[in-house]
Amino acid sequence: MQDSNEFISANKIYKLKYPVNWDWDVDPEGKGDALRFFNKNTDGGTLRVTAITLKGKNSEALSIIRDYKKKYKGAKFFKKESVGYLTFIGEALQDDTPLVIYWWYLAKGNYLLIISFTLIKKQFWSKKSREEIKMVKKIVDSIQFLKNR
């Protein structure tokens, strides 16, 4: 991704690249290490990233997302190098506004990243939204885990 900033999570679990015209902040609705990334020049969608460190027995994140595949209709699971990916698209309603939500679950060792990108459904097929979705996919593809546990 050209003209990008690099973000490294506070707990040094992962890093990602995002466009220079985007910004980030702590997600006030999130729990733990939950962040929002967004284009500061438009009122487009919001990319949320939550990092979770699993502890205890059966805390292997990869087996968790494999189990989630059964739960979400149309979900796709694959592995790239040592990272497991689960992706799917869902819908929700917020304050009577229909939304479309792209989801990614990334797993490595005991680390799980839950990533979502939310758009207002009526804007979903606009050219601007389609371009934004392409950019978000590039951001997700840029994610690298920094810890191997």
Q: Would the pLDDT of 76 be above 90?
A: yes
State the pLDDT at residue 115.
96
Stretch 23-35: mean pLDDT, rounded?
Answer: 80
**147 to 13, 28, 46, 66, 144: CA distances (angstroms):** 5, 26, 26, 21, 9
Average pLDDT, the chain: 88
For 78, what's the count of Cα atoms within 13 Å in the CB-facing half-sphere? 5
Stretch 121-144: mean pLDDT, rounded?
Answer: 91
Stretch 19-36: mean pLDDT, rounded?
Answer: 83
Residues 91, 74 contacting (CB under 8 angstroms)? no
- Residue 134 is classified by DSSP as H
Residues 60-75: tens digit of each pLDDT:
888 889 888 888 888 9
Using CA atoms, how far apart are residues 109 and 73, in angstroms rounded to an integer?
25
% pLDDT > 90, the chain? 52
